[in-house]
Amino acid sequence: MNLYGQEVASRLLIGTALYPSPAVMEAALKASGAEIVTVSLRREAGGGRAGDSFWRIIQSLGVKVLPNTAGCRTVKEAVTTAELARELFGTPWIKLEVIGDDETLQPDVVALVEAAGILIRDGFEVFPYTTEDATVANRLVDAGCRVVMPWASPIGSGQGITNRAALQTLRARLPDITLIVDAGLGAPSHAAAALELGYDGVLLNTAIAKADDPVGMARAFALAVEAGRAGYEAGLMPPRDFASPSTPVVGTPFWHAAG
């Protein structure tokens, strides 16, 4: 998977929030094989023992950090947070979130496009969290985004892909853009379905962190992502309206009971 010129082997990106303990987070990240983790500046910039423990884990795993602007609701707030994140984490990468609705956590797509343009002109490499709307995605690409991250369904809902046709259209319209499904995935099968559509990767947090066994669930998602991508590359059979026998009947002998 190509992310602004950097090749990444794992197609699974994982958030670092909501785990019951740092030890469980560490074990889950290892089990997932993820090379990129998202980090909220608001949560981690406070320092203290919890922050120090978190950074020791991240450094020991050698993963790449993708800071995000989680919780931001205006262009100014998102841009300021991104600038602070670049200074703190030493990376031009930023997962850009500008929330427009408190109930659904749906992105404010107008503010998102504006903020993306400002950040890209300032040298950032932007990973925008957006809806599955093709018009918005095209505007983000026109602003300079080489990665676009549409949701499958609202953050933390676990509903999986609710608008499959729109995600298919987005993939067809943007063949040269890295597309990562972000938010709403609740089961490994949801991740496999996204990869089967030709998406380059998936990003999730809640489905792993809040599972009864986060480590086992991280492993399950890793396998699902591999299976989904392998199926896509092998060439999935198209659905049919009618049955088609898997065993040929021409030339098949028939036996009849004697009279």
Our answer to whether residue 64 is catalytic in this structure is: no
Q: Choosing from 30, 64, 76, 95, which is the catalytic residue?
A: 95
To the question of whether residue 206 is assigned a binding role by annotation, the answer is yes
To the question of whether residue 158 is assigned a binding role by annotation, the answer is no
Q: DSSP characters for the chain?
A: -EETTEE-S--EEEE--S-S-HHHHHHHHHHHT-SEEEEEHHHHTT-HHHHHHHHHHHHHHTPEEEEE-TT--SHHHHHHHHHHHHHHH--SEEEE--B--TTT--B-HHHHHHHHHHHHHTT-EEEEEE-S-HHHHHHHHHHT-SEEEE-SSSTT-----S-HHHHHHHHHH-TTSEEEEES---SHHHHHHHHHTT-SEEEESHHHHTSSSHHHHHHHHHHHHHHHHHHHHH-PPPP-SS---SS--TT--------
To the question of whether residue 23 is assigned a binding role by annotation, the answer is no
To the question of whether residue 85 is assigned a binding role by annotation, the answer is no
To the question of whether residue 163 is assigned a binding role by annotation, the answer is no
- Give the catalytic positions in this structure: 95
Binding-site entries: 156, 183-184, 205-206
Binding-site entries for 1-deoxy-D-xylulose 5-phosphate: 156, 183-184, 205-206
